[in-house]
Chains A and B, each alone.
Chain A
Amino acid sequence: AQKVTQAQTEISVVEKEDVTLDCVYETRDTTYYLFWYKQPPSGELVFLIRRNSFDEQNEISGRYSWNFQKSTSSFNFTITASQVVDSAVYFCALSDLFTGANNLFFGTGTRLTVIP
């Protein structure tokens, strides 16, 4: 069965520090998609990135970077030079054909607090 584990429940960092949020997933499928969403205090889930299982290239977008390692079933997210506006709950999610690819299966989230 599919599963997404975000072992870090809460993380606090001081502004300008780098921080990595971990995500480990399980799926029976060879074709799947991985996502990261940000949920600020306003509650809306903000899409950050989508990767498919055949593309293991790491990606960088500004201060954000993602490390996809199929060998360890991990899709970790790093924020460099963190800012107070980065404070939010971050969710990793999985969509695969085994579940019908109709829905996202979310982890329990990591609450990031950036202290000024």
Chain B
Amino acid sequence: GAGVSQSPRYKVAKRGQDVALRCDPISGHVSLFWYQQALGQGPEFLTYFQNEAQLDKSGLPSDRFFAERPEGSVSTLKIQRTQQEDSAVYLCASSLSVSTDTQYFGPGTRLTVL
């Protein structure tokens, strides 16, 4: 596709449920990033992939958060045993090559944990 796509756009989960958020980067983009954006705040870095390798996961807030990109294209962010504080918009971005290239963002997935 022309841009980064994410699905679902909206997700409502009950506390304790597991969720999986999908990101389709721009075709050919090597780098992929996940960010979390709380209401009224700027996005905060979660994790970074270069192809299938997860090079930085320093921003993942707990071991309930897990991300993968097994074939170096589509990525999935999984949150286990969701908590209310996980409610946020999860943004995915991709860039053409090395990490300092411009990042292009998808529309995000708004997660609400009840």
Contacts and interface: CB of A to CB of B under 8 A. Distances in A.
Contacts of B65: none
B102 A100 contact: no
A63 to B, nearest CB: 21
Nearest to B91: A45
Interface string B38-80: 0011111100100000011001000000000000000000000
Interface size class of A (residues with CB under 8 A): 20 to 34
Given A45-B105, A47-B102, A50-B102, A108 B42 contact: yes
A44 B48 contact: no
B35 to A, nearest CB: 8
Given A45-B91, A107-B42, A108-B42, A102 B55 contact: yes
Interface in A94-110: 95, 100-109
A36 to B, nearest CB: 11
Nearest to B42: A106
Most chain B CB neighbours (cut-off 10 Å) among A35, A105, A106: A106
Given A44-B106, A45-B91, A104 B100 contact: no
B108 A100 contact: no
A103 B42 contact: no
Nearest to A33: B100
10 contacts: A33-B100, A37-B105, A47-B104, A100-B99, A102-B33, A102-B48, A102-B99, A103-B59, A106-B42, A106-B44
Interface of B: 33, 35, 40-45, 48, 55-56, 59, 89, 91, 93, 99-100, 102-108, 110
